[in-house]
Each structure stands twice: as structure tokens, then as C-alpha cells.
Amino acid sequence: MKNVRFWLTLLICAVLWTTVTSCFNSAPNYINTNKTRNIHLIVKMNRGDYWNTVKLGAEAAAQEFNVKLTFKAPDSESDITEQVKMVQESIKEKADVIILAASSYMGLAQVVDQAAYSKIPVISVDAEVGSARVRTYIGSNGYEAGQKSAERLIKLLKGYGEVGIINFTSSTQSEKQESSNGIEYGARDAEEREKGFLNYTARYPNIQVVEISYTTSSIKEAEELTQLMLLKHPKLRGIASLNETASQGAAMAIQSRGLKNIKMVAFDSSPSMMELLQDGAVQATVIQNPFNNGYLAVKHAVEVIEGINVPERVDTGTKIIDLDNMLWPENQKLLFPFVR
Amino acid sequence: MRQEKSYSFRLRPQHPKGGKRRLSSKLRSIQVTITLTFTSVAVLVAVVVSLMLYNKFAKTAEENANMNMQQIIEQVNYNLELYVKGMRNIFETAEDQITNSPSVDSSLLMERMAMLMGSREDLVSAAVFTPQGKYVVGTAGQKLRSNTQLETQSWFTSAKKTSEISYSAPHIQNLFKGQYIWVVSISKLIQYKENGELKTGILLMDFNFRTIDELSKQVKLGKRGYAYILDQLGNIVYHPQQQLIYAGLKYENVEPVLEYAYRSYLDESTGEKRFITVRTLEQTGWKIVGVAYYDEIVTTKRDLNNFLSWFLAVVILCVIIVSVFLSARIARPIRKLERTLQQVGEGDLNTRIDVSGAYEVEQLSKRFNLMLQRIRQLMDQIIYEQETKRKGELEVLQSQINPHFLYNTLNSVIRLAERGKTEEVITMIQSLSKFFRISLSKGNNMITVQEELDHIRHYLVIQSFRFKNKFRYEIVAQDEVLQCQTIKLILQPIVENALYHGIEMMPDEGFISIRAELKDDLVIIRIIDNGLGMSNETMKVILTGGSKSMNGSGVGVRNVNERIELYYGREYGLSFESEIEEGTTVTLIFPALAKVEDNEGLKEDETSA
């Protein structure tokens, strides 16, 4: 009897203690920001408004989640070896997470596997990489973006005419031919966009894609390629460009020649592209969500460290912007980063 | 004086050693009980007190935090009010200058406008448009873009609607080449002169967010808290994470904010508890919203948590240590007492307790020692009494097997036989035999009054032969008294006394009357003789001992008295009444006790005899 009372007292004490302590210390339900995380963000290129906006987004998240962000990018989108070197460096520096926008789908695959082997999670942003070890992909759907571009261009051309594409690549023209042995060395997003575009135009017999030019990563080269294309195809009615540098180059070629009858659908939303849109040199542009890409990549990176489940794929979406809708409040917010 | 004797007996069976019972008895021990009680009471009190303290402090902390936050927001509100007033002043100055200038494109006005623009960092652009949307004049160095769609923009439409100054929601300034900047526009219908002609136009001034940003940046509401600004329609004018809000990555629950101009409330729409404080600017209708994270701004609460947790832990530890020591101190003498008692229980009465400690325990041990001493005394007494009883009985028995008595009796028998008095011989032998059987009665001390009376009757029969009818006798007994218990052989010495001292010497015939009765639960037996009697001195001597009869068996009446006193107590015993030449009455008084059943009794004796 007394024995029972004794254990009962003990039990009551224990219960009391746990209730008291549990009401004193409840776990916070937000991401723990007490520890500084080392996250490396490696993108395709260290120039251009697009990558700046990605960086801006990443920095916003870094500030919010107490992340020490190391930003790395080669001078050119085609410098695969430099990017591989940067990933290797990050592995050596024992980054907590590596966020990678791969210049080449296959070219970066091996080094990503290496990172995974060293227990460093890899998140890919904007462009995918050919490794199964990638934790999540954050970016837009390239194929869909290509289709959107084609759809708008065909509408602008009223359904007929010759069309040229200015795309981008990670390898020079000669390399491209050499590496046609089945291995994809290009950037995934470039290929997807092109595929989407071509598949969509294939439904329109009156639309002929007469030439696809590939620029590495210079506006100058893109402008020259566009000039060349315009010379080669005098009947050309429309141009689609599939990334920011290609778009700026192509638009400059059109503007400098004062060609009013050539319709153009560009890609991405740099302020200069907006200016071109407002000036009427470009009719529409397919925009992605670079700020969100950067922000979400860092946020999910922190979640990966915290052990929180992250979605396998985050589609940040694409949108067609033209003169009419560029000043809609919701699009203003998308197009122009809020810089103080 | 202590007698060193060894006593051996057991008061109770010993505890079985080991096992569950031992553990449970340990848990029931006074030390554990004290420790547990003390600890649990102290812990309970500490917990209750700290909970009350916690609630009290937490509430105060919460109120303080809330008040603090309201003050901060009030301050921001005030600063912002000043800032908006400043914007308004600038705007009104510009309006004055344009209205008062003879011509909008005069170089003097342009100069003044440029000065105005240079005076403030946050002023991005200023321009005048016609109500149709045509550009009239602007600050120098700004080229207008094409396709501006300004007629549809809010600053344009709202300026046309009222004559008051209107403030726009934040938007992109797309009018002038160079940059796309987020601005807040102030616009109003104004009068201006162009070529001497008075015209109506719209004055636009764009302000960037630099100052608002700086104002808001100063707001520190805990580590993660912040302030943001809403316009009347619920558009976010300024937010520290504006880009995230615009990108749809963050969300601010503005609906409850819009309902009131001035309020504070607790919001849980994001899943986290947050304090929201709202203040409204008079001129613009903007609302300043302070957001503070509940668990963060109330840091005192967490500090308090930690402190109280530690406090409780320390208190409990102290209490346990103190109570263990205290209970050990209390329990030690008691345990010592218990051990000694156990020793006593095992039969060692010679131990002594010298326990010091609490007053009660000390007293207890003292009393215990006294008790032990008393027990020893009593045991000594019992032993002494038992020895005395045995001795007395033995003496009586020995007196009966007195050879002189036997010789006389047998002589009488022989004489009777010689005379051929067979009848008498048989009576004689029978009486003798019964006399001895009852005397022995199988070693029992107690016999019934009936048996005792039989015994004396046989004795008297034998003696009447011996004294040759020198005396007569009668034995009268109430029926109730017959079954009462009595010590055996208490009548014989008295009757013997009466015969030898009272009757033998008298010339006349003697008479002995033995009367037994029950009165008030007392057995009263009187032996009355009409003999010589005795003096008072003799009576005294008889009971105190010393006098031994010359002819008797040598066993005194004193022996009988002693035995009665030993068995029944001092208040019982013998008393004498005597008068010289008249006779003596001896009265035996002892309590009436029913016969104890267990005695195998005389029946068995009869068979064994």
C-alpha cells in the first residue's frame, strides 16, 4: 500500500516536471537561424542582369536564413572546365551545400557525383545537370518556355513566314559538330527551349525555321550572328532568341538596322530588354523568375541542411510579357527587382 | 542493583532476511518517508511559486514589449508624418514656382526646379503634363520614353479626379529613359502659364524609397521584427522584404490591418504568434504596421524560462540533499533504538541503550532503559516466587510423608487389626490411600475445594483413630464452593495445628468444624476449634514465622499463608481469631476461580493409583 503510494508520488513528480519543462521550452517552428551556413552558389556567368537577379534572390534568402553565401561564376557560359574547377574548389572548401546552374548537362555530371560522394548536397538551379544525386531542381520548365515563345511569334507573324532562332550553347560551333556522338554537352535549358520551340512550330506548315545560330555568351557575337542571319535570309519575318545575351544581341541588330517588319520574341527581362520592348524593337519576351530561383535555391539548401524534406522539382514558371502587360502591377513586381 | 543473569526468551519471530520484503521495508523506512515527503512538498511549492512568478513576469514582459513596440511605431509614424509633410512642402514649393512663373519653359524656372531636385536625394523626377497626357516640361536631362501609357497610370487618373494632392501606390517609373525605378508619385492639377496663356496641367513628382527605407530600417522589433507601410488600398508601399512579397515568396495578412486606423492585436495567420501594431498617417492614409515576433520580443520570457528551470533544478537538488541529511539525522537514533529493541527481542535483556539525538528519542531510550530494568526486576521476582511456591509445596508434601505420622498411623492400623476390627482397618487404609493420592494429585498445584475437603476429611479420619475419639469434627460446605479452585494442601497444616496445639492438650472432648462458603466471589474456609486458644503474641509469631510446632510436621501455618499470598495476592490469606480456653477460628480467604478444564484430573489418578 505504502509502496504503491511511493511510486504514485514519483510518477506525479515526473509528470509535473515534464509538463512544467515542456511549457517552458517549446520548439520554434521556423528555420533555425542561429548557425551560420556556408552555401556556395555557382552560376553560368558572372555578368548579365539575369544572373545578377538570381544572385539578388539568393542574397535575400542568405540574409534571412543567416547564410554565408559564396558566389562563383566563370566569365563565360561556355567555360565548362572553369565551372567544374569551381565545384571542385567548393568540395574542397567543404561547403554545406552547393547550388549549381550547370553550363553543361553532362559536363558537370561527374563533379556533382563527386560532391555527393563527399556528402555535400547539390541543388541545381535554372539549368539541370545529368546526375541522379541532385537533391532538387529549381527553375522554369525550358520546354514550356520554348513553346510559349513559338506560340507568341507565330501569332505575331499571323501564322506564316521564315523564322530564325538565336540560341546559346556551351561549346563553340566546331566543338558542337565534334561532339555529335550522342553525348549532350550543351546546357539543358538551351536544348529544352529549342526543342519546345521546334516542336510547337512543327504544327504550322507555313512556318519555316530556316536557321538556328548558337552564340556562346557574348552580346557582340549574338549581334553578329543575327546580322549574318538577316543577310542570308532576306525573307526572314521573325526571330526568336532563347536567352538573355542572345536576345540583347539580336534586338540590337534589329534596332540598329531599324527593321520594323521583323517580329522578335526575346527571352528574360533585363531592364535594357524592357527598354527595347517599350521602344517597340521587341514585341514580347518570355520571362522566368530569376529572383525566385535564387531565393528558393538558398532557402531549400538551408532546409536540406536542417533535414526538412524539399520537393524534387520546383517550377518557378514562365510568362510572356509584352508592351500591354508590362506595367500591370503584378508584372511590374516580377520584372523589376526592388532595388533601393 | 542489577543482577547479571541471562534471560532467554523471544518476543516475536525474526524478520526473514533479504528479498522483496526487505526492499519494501526499506522504502517504508522513516528516512525514505521523510525524504520523499519533504522533497515532494518542497518541489511542489517551488514549482507552484515559479509558475506563478513566471506567469506574472511573462505578463509584465508581454505588456512591456507591447508598449515598447507601440512607442516605436508611434515614433516611426511621427517621422514618416514629417517626411510626408516634407514631400508635400517640396511639391507645394514647386507648384508655387510653376504657377507664379510667367512661362513654364523659362530658364529661371528650370534653374529653380533643378535646385529643388538637387536639394533632395529621394526626389527622382518632376514633370508637368497636360490633362491629355502630353508632356509639357520636366526636369533637365530626362528624355521621355515612347509607349509610356501614362494616361492609364494611377497618379494621372487620380490627379484628374480631385484638386487635392494624391499619393500613388509604389510603381515603376517608366516615363524617362535610363532606369526603371520603384517610386511613389505625388500628383495634382495645377495652373501654369505658357506663352502668357493660363493652362491646367498635372504636376508629377516621383520619390524613391531611400528615405522611407532609412526610416523603416531604424525600426528594431526584436531580431526578426520589422515594420511595413500599406496604402489605403492595401498595396504594400514599403516592406523590408518587398522583393520577396512582390515575388510571391512572402505574404502579409493585410486584411485585418485595413479595417482599423489604430489598433494592436495578436496575429497567428502565418502559424507564428506575432504582435501587430497599426498606426495611420493623416495625410496619405498610409498605415504603418509593426510586426514583432511574440516569442522573440518577449525575450524576458525565455530568459525567465531558463532561469526558472535552473532555479528549480538547484532547489530540488538542495532540497534532496538537505532532506537526505536531515532524515538520516532523525532516523539514525531511531534505527539504533530499533536495533537494540531487536536485540532485546532476541532475548538479550542485559543491553542498554545510550541514544542521544532528538529529545523525544532520548526520552524514549531513557524510558526504555527503565522499562528494561523493571522487566528484569519482575523476572527476578517471578523466579523467586516460583521457587518459593515450589519449596512450600515440597515442604508440605515432605511433611505428609513424615515417618512419624506414618508410623503412628500404621501403628493404629496394626492395633485395630490385632483387635480384629477389620472394618476400621479398611476405613483407615482407604483414608490413608486417598489422603496420599490427593496430596500428590499428579503434581498439580490446583485442585478443587471438594478435593481439598476430601483430603482433610481423610486426614481427620486417620487422626481420629490416632487420638482415639478425643475429638469430633464436621465438614460443612456450600455446593457452589465445591467446584472452585484452591491451592492444594492448605487445610492440613491448619487442622494439624488445631489438633496438636488446641485439642491434644485439652481435657474435654475437642471439636473441629470446617466450613467452606462462597461469598462475594471469595472462597472463605473457616477452621473452628474449641481448643486451648492462643495469645495474641503467638498469633503474630505464627504468621511472621519463627514458631515451629514441637509435635507437628514442622511446616508452619506461615507456609500456607505465604502460598495463598503468592498465588492470589497480598490481600488474601489467613486470619486468626482466638481466645484462650475458648478456641481458635482460622479463616482462609482467596478468590473463587472456576475449575480449569485442561487438568486430566483425578479420574486418571484413580486408574493409576
Cell triple for B381: 521476582
Helix (H, G, I), strand (E, B) or coil at A212: strand
Contact A334/B246, CB-based, under 8 Å? yes
Look at residues A295, A339, A125 and name the one whose alpha carbon lies nearest to residue B244: A295
> Which residue in A2, A30, A57 is closest to B28 by CB distance?
A2
Residue length of chain A: 340
Q: Say how far apart CA B348 and CA B252 lie, in whole Å.
A: 88
> Which residue in B54, B152, B247 is closest to A295 by CB distance?
B247
Mean pLDDT for B125-144 is 82
Provide the CB-side half-sphere exposure for A320 (13 A, CA).
Answer: 20
Q: Say how far apart CA A13 and CA B459 lie, in whole Å.
A: 85
Q: Say how far apart CA B417 and CA B421 lie, in whole Å.
A: 6
Strands (E), chain A: 37-42, 67-72, 97-100, 122-125, 134-139, 161-168, 207-215, 236-241, 263-267, 284-287, 313-315, 319-322
Lowest mean pLDDT among B115-124, B516-525, B576-585, B596-605: B596-605
Beta-carbon contacts of residue B27 (< 8 Å; ≥ 6 apart): A2, A3, A6
In order, the DSSP letters of A252-310 are HHHHHHT-SS-EEEEES--HHHHHHHHHTS--EEEE--HHHHHHHHHHHHHHHHHT---
Q: B22-26: which pairs have CB atoms within 8 A and are 24 or more residues apart? A: B24/A2, B24/A3
CA A29 to chain B, closest CA, distance in angstroms equals 8
How do residues A286-326 score in pLDDT, each as one tens digit?
A: 999 898 999 999 999 999 988 888 898 999 889 999 988 88
Mean pLDDT for B423-427 is 87
Q: Say how far apart CA B311 and CA B45 lie, in whole Å.
A: 13
Q: B-chain residues within 8 Å CB-CB of A20?
A: 47, 50-51, 312
Contact B147/A323, CB-based, under 8 Å? yes
Calculate Rg over the CA atoms of chain A: 25
For B585, the enclosing helix (H) or strand (E) is strand B583-591
Q: B169-172: which pairs have CB atoms within 8 A and are 24 or more residues apart? A: B169/A329, B169/B231, B169/B233, B169/B235, B169/B237, B170/B209, B170/B235, B170/B236, B170/B237, B170/B238, B171/A327, B171/A329, B171/A332, B172/A327, B172/A332, B172/A335, B172/A336
Residue B488: pLDDT over 60: yes
Chain A contact for B303 (CB, 8 A cutoff):
no
Residue with the larger pLDDT of the pair A93 and A34 = A93
Chain A contact for B268 (CB, 8 A cutoff):
no
Beta-carbon contacts of residue B534 (< 8 Å; ≥ 6 apart): B501, B542, B576, B578, B580, B584
Res. A85 pLDDT band, cuts 50 70 90: very high
Residue B541: pLDDT over 60: yes
CB atoms within 10 A of CB A178: 10
Q: Say how far apart CA A94 and CA B92 lie, in whole Å.
A: 59
- Tally C-beta pairs within 8 A across A and B: 94
Place of cell 516542336: A199
For B460, the enclosing helix (H) or strand (E) is helix B449-466
Q: Are B544 and B558 in contact (CB under 8 A)?
A: yes
Chain A contact for B271 (CB, 8 A cutoff):
yes
Mutating which of B31, B39, B57, B147 best tests the A interface, going by the most A Cβ atoms within 10 A?
B147
Residue A332: pLDDT over 60: yes
Q: Say how far apart CA B493 and CA B586 lie, in whole Å.
A: 11
Residue length of chain B: 609
Chain A contact for B157 (CB, 8 A cutoff):
no
Q: Say how far apart CA B565 and CA A260 lie, in whole Å.
A: 151
Query: What's the confidence (pLDDT) of residue B298?
Result: 62
> Which residue in B146, B241, B309 is closest to A21 by CB distance?
B309
Longest Cα separation, chain B:
198
Look at residues B489, B552, B476 and name the one whose alpha carbon lies nearest to residue B517: B476
Q: Say how far apart CA A222 and CA A215 lie, in whole Å.
A: 6
Residue B514: pLDDT over 80: yes
CB atoms within 10 A of CB B72: 19
Query: What's the confidence (pLDDT) of residue A144?
Result: 93
How do residues A140-172 score in pLDDT, each as one tens digit?
A: 999 999 999 999 999 999 989 999 999 887 665
B131-150 burial: b if 16+ Cβ within 10 Å, else e: eeeeebbbbeebeebeebeb
Provide the CB-side half-sphere exposure for B430 (13 A, CA).
Answer: 9
Query: What's the confidence (pLDDT) of residue A203?
Result: 92
CB atoms within 10 A of CB A279: 15
Chain B contact for A3 (CB, 8 A cutoff):
yes
Segment of A296-305, B217-226, B590-599 carrying the highest mean pLDDT:
A296-305
Look at residues B309, B328, B317 and name the one whose alpha carbon lies nearest to residue B39: B317
Contact B149/A327, CB-based, under 8 Å? yes
Beta-carbon contacts of residue B276 (< 8 Å; ≥ 6 apart): B256, B257, B264, B265, B266, B267, B289, B290, B291
> Which residue in B241, B246, B295 is closest to A333 by CB distance?
B246
Helix (H, G, I), strand (E, B) or coil at B223: coil
Helix (H, G, I), strand (E, B) or coil at A138: strand
Contact A338/B171, CB-based, under 8 Å? no
> Which residue in A292, A333, A336 is closest to B180 by CB distance?
A336
Chain B contact for A329 (CB, 8 A cutoff):
yes
Contact A3/B249, CB-based, under 8 Å? no
Q: B-chain residues within 8 Å CB-CB of A7?
A: none
Contact B27/A2, CB-based, under 8 Å? yes
Mutating which of B243, B244, B296, B303 best tests the A interface, going by the most A Cβ atoms within 10 A?
B243
Res. B555 pLDDT band, cuts 50 70 90: low
- Fill in the amino acid letter for B250: K
Chain B contact for A295 (CB, 8 A cutoff):
yes
Query: What's the confidence (pLDDT) of residue B9?
Result: 53
Q: Are A67 and A61 in contact (CB under 8 A)?
A: yes
SS (HEC) of B71-92: HHHHHHHHHHHHHHHHHHHHHH
Q: How far is CA B306 from CA B61, B309, B417, in A?
A: 15, 5, 120
Residue B407: pLDDT over 90: no
Residue B324: pLDDT over 90: no
Query: Which chain B residues in 278-297 lie under 8 Å from chain A, judged by CB atoms?
Result: 295
Beta-carbon contacts of residue B35 (< 8 Å; ≥ 6 apart): B320, B323, B324, B327
Contact A329/B169, CB-based, under 8 Å? yes
Chain A contact for B308 (CB, 8 A cutoff):
yes
Query: What's the confidence (pLDDT) of residue B140?
Result: 60
Lowest mean pLDDT among A201-205, B129-133, B469-473, B545-549: B545-549
Q: Say how far apart CA B4 and CA B9 lie, in whole Å.
A: 16
Q: Are B187 and B157 in contact (CB under 8 A)?
A: no
> Which residue in B147, B149, B171 is closest to A332 by CB distance?
B171
Q: β-pairing, B287-293 with B446-448?
A: unpaired
Give alpha helix (H) positions in B174-293.
Answer: 210-217, 242-246, 255-259
How do residues B61-110 score in pLDDT, each as one tens digit?
A: 778 878 888 888 888 888 888 888 888 898 998 888 888 888 877 888 88
Beta-carbon contacts of residue B23 (< 8 Å; ≥ 6 apart): none
Chain B contact for A34 (CB, 8 A cutoff):
no
Beta-carbon contacts of residue B227 (< 8 Å; ≥ 6 apart): B72, B73, B76, B216, B219, B221, B240, B288, B289, B290, B291
Q: Say how far apart CA B523 and CA A334 lie, in whole Å.
A: 127
Q: A-chain residues within 8 Å CB-CB of B213?
A: 340
Q: A-chain residues within 8 Å CB-CB of B272?
A: 29-30
Q: Say how far apart CA B493 and CA B489 lie, in whole Å.
A: 8
Query: What's the confidence (pLDDT) of residue A26?
Result: 44
Q: Are A230 and A202 in contact (CB under 8 A)?
A: no
> Which residue in A6, A57, A329 is closest to B27 by CB distance?
A6
CB atoms within 10 A of CB B173: 22
B294 φ/ψ angles, rounded to the nearest 5 degrees: -55, -50
Mean pLDDT for A192-210 is 92
Q: How far is CA B593 from CA B447, B480, B482, B567, B568, in A?
A: 11, 11, 11, 12, 10
> Which residue in B51, B148, B247 is closest to A292 by CB distance?
B247
